[in-house]
């Protein structure tokens, strides 16, 4: 029984100054601020850099820095930092004060172009997968002008990339920028079949962040939550999510106060938050902004995850971003809504108004699913982690097999396209507009959102794809790097194939149509509209040759497949050295996460659970002994209980010892991959087995002496 001091009264949210339109982006050095604080020429050059990604001349950087400093000081900043995304997950920052001695007994607020553009953080302790030896421990952070600077508290944060002394990427931003450039180039070329005016294709991302809130005082007395972000034990509470009364339900007052503060802060930071609601599980919620260009959207998601934590504390909550904080109820994901759009304003994944626009739409759609088919293993690898593994395949969204759901309308169109034969299927009207018999209804195609399949990990939802397998704590960049890259590679290949046909004398539309037909045939295996959670699908997917691996350490191998290395290399997204390093970091991270969980569980069993169970057992023994002194009393029920406790504690003690031994063995392994595999196969397996016995004890041990908050408290107190 928990005796935590819980204060249910909501902390009043901070009253916003005006409406969202008054304070949106107040803390961002956005274009409006730039126009105000930079001279005309500087602004023009910086704009060009932001729009066209041209390099920023050094002398211009000085003017930008001067304007940015002025803006930051006027907005209460006293420090600045390069803000980057190392492979640890999360973000890194090291604050420096603007104030510097002026040599005349005073200080001056300094900030030069050099400090803005490039820094050399002593970053030797960030994960680097062996890229940097300690004698070359330098890393550089360099400004990414496509993501605007912002102020958190009193610190000016400058979004930067983080690279090694030798030029390799040590973060998520560098490869993401490379991947969106690759898809921009490849998609623009393909767009030129349809519209020569297209100069640029933008990759968009709209994430939906799911999370749990737990009362801070309860959280603080659950060492597993504090140290691992999830419960390593805990029996299901009698009431769970079975009534489905939480989803879209009325938001509790204390939670609402938190959400209001979070939204206010987000809007001031330029994060266009839009939607909030209760999720399926008790104490689970969701927040989603309007989609943005992928790099900016991802920075915004990283920023949001940071400020969520701060704001939750103000409301005496803790945010759990872990993918599976509670066993037996839904986990949290981060749906990545993804699309491609042209600078001429066309969504390439949305059906158009004309036949030509629709051929373009079908072209992009087919290339996407074809790419997802070829690289389904790699896409899964991009979202696999020790924490997300609890969600994937665990009978909830999504399964550990990547497939795409297109809905009956789009499926029908593809089927017709595939079945149509030769030239007779293609007609041209008076204006030479392409038409296809049997699918002439495409121009008015209205894809409705009701046609949905919640079990699909990669679903087409009318004007975008929704990659649902991404984990709630993930950096979206990883998924976006892979997705944009494989689509870029596919589009390049498509262009080569179509051009070859045109050169051989085929008409453009016919060439496109023929290549699409081949692709539709070849990638059929990836299309699945049924129940992704069913056992039949697992068997069927294996027959179709889709990747069905569920072990995280083994999934990481997909990054190093020959085709993958070549694909990333050709696109300039990752070199082989970078891929090796990343795989290394992923294995290391996996091992560490399991190691921590295993240690925490070991401590909990030996310091909490076994002593408590023994205490209760001793009380029962005492009772049974005393009962035996009085003739006629029957202690058989108590004796049975004692036996049960005995069995469970003995099992826990034995397995904890075995787990520690398995850890010792695994720790001797030098090779990171082999070590991660050992942790997966020999250590992680104990976590659930030990938990089983703890959860049984939780059910029978006296609630008065059980010191850890139970699910009914963690999930229903708000």
Q: Whose Cβ is closer to ligand ADP: residue 465's or residue 559's?
A: 465
What torsion do the CA atoms of 170, 174, 180, 186 make, to the nearest 10 degrees? -90
Residue nearest to Mg ion (CB): 335
CB of 433 to ligand ADP, least distance (A): 25
Residue 219 interaction partner, one of ligand ADP, Mg ion, none, beta carbon < 5-8 Å per kind: none
- Number of chain positions touching Mg ion (CB under 5 A): 1
Task: Give the DSSP letter of residue 105.
Answer: S
The contact pattern for Mg ion, residues 317-346, with x = CB under 5 A and - = no contact, is: ------------------x-----------
The contact pattern for ligand ADP, residues 162-181, with x = CB under 6 A and - = no contact, is: --------------------
Task: Give the DSSP letter of residue 668.
Answer: T
Q: Whose Cβ is closer to ligand ADP: residue 49's or residue 475's?
A: 475
Residue 464 interaction partner, one of Mg ion, ligand ADP, none, beta carbon < 5-8 Å per kind: ligand ADP
Q: Whose Cβ is closer to ligand ADP: residue 28's or residue 288's?
A: 288
The C-alpha atoms of residue 262 and residue 238 are separated, in whole angstroms, by: 32
CB of 346 to ligand ADP, least distance (A): 11
CB of 397 to ligand ADP, least distance (A): 12
CB of 294 to ligand ADP, least distance (A): 9
**Cα angle 608, 610, 616; round to 5:** 100
The residues in 425-464 that bind ligand ADP, with binding defined as CB under 6 A, are 463-464
Identify the CA nearest to 491 among candidates 607, 348, 655.
Answer: 348
CB of 353 to ligand ADP, least distance (A): 16
Q: How far is CA 634 from CA 618, 626, 645, 700, 701, in A?
A: 18, 11, 19, 20, 21
The C-alpha atoms of residue 328 and residue 598 are separated, in whole angstroms, by: 20
CB of 358 to Mg ion, least distance (A): 25
Q: How many CB atoms lie within 10 A of CB 45?
A: 19
The residues in 422-481 that bind Mg ion, with binding defined as CB under 5 A, are none
The C-alpha atoms of residue 463 and residue 348 are separated, in whole angstroms, by: 8
Q: How far apart are the first and last CA of the chain?
A: 17
The binder of ligand ADP chosen from 126, 211, 291, 587 (CB under 6 A): 291
DSSP secondary structure of 126-193: S--TTSS-GGG-BEEEEE-TTS--EEETTEEEEEEEEEETTS-B-BSHHHHHHHHHHHHHHHHHHHTT
CB of 670 to ligand ADP, least distance (A): 44
The residues in 208-267 that bind ligand ADP, with binding defined as CB under 6 A, are 208
The C-alpha atoms of residue 453 and residue 465 are separated, in whole angstroms, by: 12
Residue nearest to ligand ADP (CB): 206
CB of 341 to ligand ADP, least distance (A): 7
Residue 291 interaction partner, one of Mg ion, ligand ADP, none, beta carbon < 5-8 Å per kind: ligand ADP
CB of 278 to ligand ADP, least distance (A): 13
Query: Of 286-294, 374-382, 611-619, 638-646, which part binds ligand ADP (CB under 6 A)?
Result: 286-294
Q: Please classify residue 443 by burial: count the beta carbons closer than 10 Å to its beta carbon, then call 0-12 exposed, 13-18 middle and 19+ buried.
A: middle
The residues in 337-396 that bind ligand ADP, with binding defined as CB under 6 A, are 337-339, 347
Task: Tell whether residue 273 is a contact of ligand ADP (CB under 6 A).
Answer: no
CB of 280 to Mg ion, least distance (A): 13
Q: Whose Cβ is closer to Mg ion: residue 335's or residue 538's?
A: 335
DSSP secondary structure of 261-312: HHHHHHHHTT--EEEEEE-SSTTEEEEEE--EEHHHHHHHHHHHHHHHHHHH
Q: Whose Cβ is closer to ligand ADP: residue 175's or residue 289's?
A: 289
Q: Whose Cβ is closer to ligand ADP: residue 463's or residue 575's?
A: 463
Q: Whose Cβ is closer to ligand ADP: residue 338's or residue 679's?
A: 338
Query: Of 331-339, 358-366, 507-515, 603-611, which part binds ligand ADP (CB under 6 A)?
Result: 331-339
Residue 42 interaction partner, one of ligand ADP, Mg ion, none, beta carbon < 5-8 Å per kind: none
Query: CA quadruple 605, 328, 457, 548: dihedral positive or negative?
Result: positive
The contact pattern for ligand ADP, residues 179-208, with x = CB under 6 A and - = no contact, is: -------------------------x-x-x
Residue 240 interaction partner, one of Mg ion, ligand ADP, none, beta carbon < 5-8 Å per kind: none
Query: Of 7-15, 113-121, 287-295, 415-423, which part binds ligand ADP (CB under 6 A)?
Result: 287-295
Q: Whose Cβ is closer to ligand ADP: residue 204's or residue 258's?
A: 204
Identify the CA nearest to 324 among candidates 387, 236, 249.
Answer: 387
Q: Whose Cβ is closer to ligand ADP: residue 452's or residue 712's?
A: 452
Contact 368, 410 (CB under 8 A): no
The C-alpha atoms of residue 132 and residue 124 are separated, in whole angstroms, by: 8
Q: Whose Cβ is closer to ligand ADP: residue 92's or residue 379's?
A: 379
- For 496, the 3-state DSSP assignment is helix
Q: Whose Cβ is closer to ligand ADP: residue 208's or residue 215's?
A: 208
Instruction: Find tokens 């910086």 and name the residue.
Output: 46
Q: Whose Cβ is closer to ligand ADP: residue 360's or residue 656's?
A: 360
Identify the CA nearest to 493 among candidates 582, 374, 633, 626.
Answer: 374
Query: Of 82-90, 283-291, 475-483, 554-562, which part binds ligand ADP (CB under 6 A)?
Result: 283-291
Q: Whose Cβ is closer to ligand ADP: residue 159's or residue 462's?
A: 462
Contact 463, 347 (CB under 8 A): yes
The binder of ligand ADP chosen from 129, 289, 407, 532 (CB under 6 A): 289
Contact 420, 438 (CB under 8 A): yes
Q: Whose Cβ is closer to Mg ion: residue 123's or residue 476's?
A: 476
Q: Whose Cβ is closer to ligand ADP: residue 346's or residue 442's?
A: 346
Long-range contacts of 255-260 (CB under 8 A, 24+ apart): 255/213, 255/285, 255/317, 255/718, 256/10, 256/13, 257/10, 257/11, 257/12, 257/13, 257/315, 258/13, 258/213, 258/311, 258/312, 258/314, 258/315, 258/317, 259/285, 259/287, 260/13
Which tokens sit at 574? 């990752």
CB of 453 to ligand ADP, least distance (A): 12
CB of 207 to Mg ion, least distance (A): 9
Contact 693, 648 (CB under 8 A): yes
Task: Tell whether residue 710 is a contact of Mg ion (CB under 5 A).
Answer: no
Query: Of 225-233, 284-292, 547-555, 593-601, which part binds ligand ADP (CB under 6 A)?
Result: 284-292
Contact 581, 175 (CB under 8 A): no
- Number of chain positions touching ligand ADP (CB under 6 A): 14
The binder of ligand ADP chosen from 142, 218, 288, 555 (CB under 6 A): 288
Q: How many CB atoms lie within 10 A of CB 332?
A: 25
The C-alpha atoms of residue 439 and residue 418 are separated, in whole angstroms, by: 11
Q: Whose Cβ is closer to Mg ion: residue 335's or residue 673's?
A: 335
Query: Of 15-23, 336-344, 564-572, 685-693, which part binds ligand ADP (CB under 6 A)?
Result: 336-344
The C-alpha atoms of residue 102 and residue 107 are separated, in whole angstroms, by: 5
**Residues contributing to the site for ligand ADP (CB under 6 A):** 204, 206, 208, 275, 288-291, 337-339, 347, 463-464
Rule CB under 5 A: which residues touch Mg ion?
335
């Amino acid at each position: 029984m928990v005796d935590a001091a819980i204060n249910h009264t909501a902390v009043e949210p901070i009253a916003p100054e005006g409406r969202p339109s008054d304070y949106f982006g107040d803390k961002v050095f956005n274009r409006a601020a730039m126009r105000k604080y930079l001279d005309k020429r500087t602004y023009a050059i910086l704009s060009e850099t932001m729009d066209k990604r041209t390099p920023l001349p050094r002398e211009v950087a000085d003017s930008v820095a001067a304007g940015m400093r002025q803006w930051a000081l006027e907005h209460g900043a006293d420090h600045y930092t390069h803000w980057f995304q190392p492979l640890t997950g999360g973000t890194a920052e090291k604050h420096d004060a603007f104030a510097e001695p002026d040599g005349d007994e005073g200080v001056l607020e300094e900030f030069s172009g050099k400090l803005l553009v490039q820094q050399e953080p002593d970053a030797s302790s960030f994960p680097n997968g062996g890229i940097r030896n300690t004698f070359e421990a330098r890393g550089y952070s360099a400004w990414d002008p496509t993501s605007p600077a912002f102020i958190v508290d009193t610190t000016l944060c400058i979004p930067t990339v983080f690279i090694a002394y030798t030029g390799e990427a040590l973060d998520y931003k560098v490869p993401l920028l490379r991947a969106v450039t690759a898809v921009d180039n490849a998609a623009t070329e393909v767009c030129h079949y349809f519209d020569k005016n297209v100069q640029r294709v933008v990759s968009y991302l709209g994430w939906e962040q799911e999370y749990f809130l737990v009362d801070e005082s309860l959280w603080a007395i659950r060492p597993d939550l504090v140290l691992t972000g999830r419960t390593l034990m805990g029996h299901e509470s009698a009431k769970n999510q079975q009534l489905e009364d939480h989803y879209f339900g009325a938001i509790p007052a204390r939670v609402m106060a938190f959400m209001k503060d979070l939204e206010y802060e987000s809007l001031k930071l330029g994060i266009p938050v839009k939607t909030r609601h209760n999720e399926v599980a008790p104490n689970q919620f969701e927040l989603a902004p309007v989609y943005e260009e992928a790099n900016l959207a991802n920075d915004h998601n990283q920023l949001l995850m940071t400020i969520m934590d701060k704001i939750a504390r103000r409301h005496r909550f803790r945010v759990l971003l872990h993918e599976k904080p509670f066993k037996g109820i839904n986990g949290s994901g981060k749906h990545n809504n993804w699309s491609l759009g042209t600078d001429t304003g066309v969504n390439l994944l949305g059906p158009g108004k004309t036949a030509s626009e629709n051929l373009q739409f079908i072209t992009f759609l087919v290339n996407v699913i074809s790419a997802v088919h070829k690289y389904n293993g790699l896409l899964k690898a991009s979202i696999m982690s020790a924490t997300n593994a609890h969600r994937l395949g665990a009978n909830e969204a999504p399964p550990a097999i990547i497939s795409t759901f297109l809905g009956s309308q789009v499926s029908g169109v593809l089927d017709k396209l595939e079945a149509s034969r030769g030239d007779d299927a293609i007609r041209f009207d008076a204006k030479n507009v392409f038409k296809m018999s049997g699918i002439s209804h495409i121009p008015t195609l209205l894809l409705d959102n009701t046609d949905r399949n919640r079990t699909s990990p990669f679903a087409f939802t009318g004007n975008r794809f929704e990659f649902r397998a991404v984990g709630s704590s993930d950096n979206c960049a990883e998924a976006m790097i892979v997705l944009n890259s494989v689509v870029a590679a596919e589009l390049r290949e498509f262009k080569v194939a179509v051009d070859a046909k045109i050169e051989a004398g085929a008409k453009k539309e016919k060439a496109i149509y023929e290549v699409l037909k081949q692709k539709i045939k070849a990638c059929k295996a990836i299309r699945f509209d049924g129940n992704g959670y069913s056992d039949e699908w697992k068997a069927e997917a294996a027959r179709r040759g889709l990747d069905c691996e569920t072990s995280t350490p083994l999934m990481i191998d997909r990054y190093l497949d020959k085709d993958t290395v070549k694909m990333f290399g050709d696109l300039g997204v990752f070199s082989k050295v970078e891929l090796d390093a990343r795989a290394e970091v992923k294995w290391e991270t996996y091992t560490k996460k399991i190691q921590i969980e295993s240690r925490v569980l070991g401590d909990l069993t030996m310091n909490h659970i076994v002593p408590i169970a023994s205490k209760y057992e001793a009380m029962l023994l005492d009772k049974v002994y005393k009962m035996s002194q009085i003739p006629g009393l029957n202690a058989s029920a108590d004796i049975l209980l004692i036996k049960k406790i005995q069995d469970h504690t003995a099992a826990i003690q034995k397995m904890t010892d075995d787990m520690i031994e398995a850890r010792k063995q695994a720790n001797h392994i030098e090779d990171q991959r082999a070590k991660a595999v050992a942790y997966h196969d020999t250590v992680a397996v104990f976590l659930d087995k030990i938990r089983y016995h703890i959860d049984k004890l939780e059910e029978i041990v006296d609630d008065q002496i059980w010191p850890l908050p139970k699910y009914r408290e963690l999930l229903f107190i708000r």
